[in-house]
Amino acid sequence: MNKKQLLEFVHQAEALCKQRKCRLTDQRKRVLELILSAEKPLTAYEILDQLRESVKNPAPPTVYRALEFLLQHGLIHKLESIHAFIGCTHPDHKHTSQFLICNDCGDVNEIENKAIEKSLHSAEQAAGFKTSHPVIELLGTCSQCQLSNSH
């Protein structure tokens, strides 16, 4: 994400928080900026290490509280399979999070497939089940790594 996109996303996050009557504190904003500007998903400890570069003695509980807030408000996602966090590409609406995660290079892409979302919703209703955190993580090999591996 380039600097302009980062600023636009942070502005959108601030507007969403204001609309939802919650506050994007400086600490939360800094954690969000670190996640958004990262080349890959970050673990909580990677975030803590990066925070140490700009904040004196950041406490792990503070980082975890910021992550919880950002998750709760749909600004980031937690990738359970790799224990890392990534920015949400469309935080303005609820959705079933769908990710393609490359086992080789670690690249992660968030996709939004309405057919998958609709199918899951139908299956939930048929089973009388209500998801609290609908996430699909597909692990495999990205096209770049497939090309590299074929040579």
Please, what are the domains in the chain?
3-87 (1.10.10.10), 97-150 (3.30.1490.190)
Task: Kindly tell me if the per-residue pLDDT of 115 is higher than 80.
Answer: yes
pLDDT at 70: 97
Q: How far apart are CA 65 and CA 67, in angstroms?
A: 5
Q: What is the pTM of this model?
A: 0.87
Least confident of 64-73, 76-85, 90-99: 90-99
31 or 91, greater pLDDT: 31
pLDDT at 90: 79
pLDDT at 132: 83
Alpha-carbon torsion (85, 87, 91, 96), positive or negative: negative
Q: How far apart are CA 41 and CA 47, in angstroms?
A: 10
21 near 72, Cβ under 8 Å? no
pLDDT per residue as tens digits for the range 7-22: 999 999 999 999 999 9
Helix axes 26-37, 3-19, angle to 10 degrees: 140
Q: What is the mean pLDDT of the chain?
A: 92
Task: Kindly tell me if the per-residue pLDDT of 58 is higher than 90.
Answer: no
79 near 85, Cβ under 8 Å? yes
pLDDT at 112: 86
pLDDT at 96: 85
Buried b / exposed e across 10-28, counting CB within 10 Å, b at 16+? Answer: beebeebbeeeeeebeebb
